[in-house]
Amino acid sequence: MNPEVFTQKDYLRLREWFVAAIEREGIDHGSEPLRNDSNGAYDFAYYQLMVKARDAWMASEGVTPSDEMLSRAFFDAEITRHTRKRNRQNPLAWLRRTFKSWRNPKVHKDGVAF
């Protein structure tokens, strides 16, 4: 991997690495109340996974992703994990949400659908 170029394929591999690591470590942000001081168990697990990811990518690819890339991939992995879980629980839910948004598009005050 070229250190100057971090492709979408690399990002997706990093995100999947985080999905697997979150599952393996049993990290769940809903298990504790929200804290403003960044000293909760979830925050510590997040920081530890950042270090592990950086080390793993340095060992396998010879480069380290930026802190921003690691952070984005981590939280994208959280969203991906919860979306997959929701879709496993109700396989047709995504289809209903798609058709519901198609039938009732959100319209901006200027008349532009978004």
Write down the domain spans for the chain. 8-103
Q: What are the backbone dihedrals phi and psi of residue 101, each rounded to the nearest 5 degrees, phi first? A: -70, -30
Per-residue model confidence (pLDDT) at position 14: 92
Indicate the pTM of the whole model.
Answer: 0.71
CB atoms within 10 A of CB 48: 13
Query: What gap in Å lies between CA 53 and CA 91, rounded to an integer?
Result: 31
Q: Would you write out the chain's pLDDT as a tens digit for each of its 114 residues?
A: 444 567 888 899 999 999 999 999 888 777 777 777 777 788 888 999 999 999 999 998 888 888 999 999 999 999 998 888 877 777 676 676 666 655 555 555 555 544
Query: What gap in Å lies between CA 15 and CA 74, rounded to an integer?
Result: 6
DSSP H helical segments within the chain, as ranges? 8-25, 41-61, 67-89, 93-103
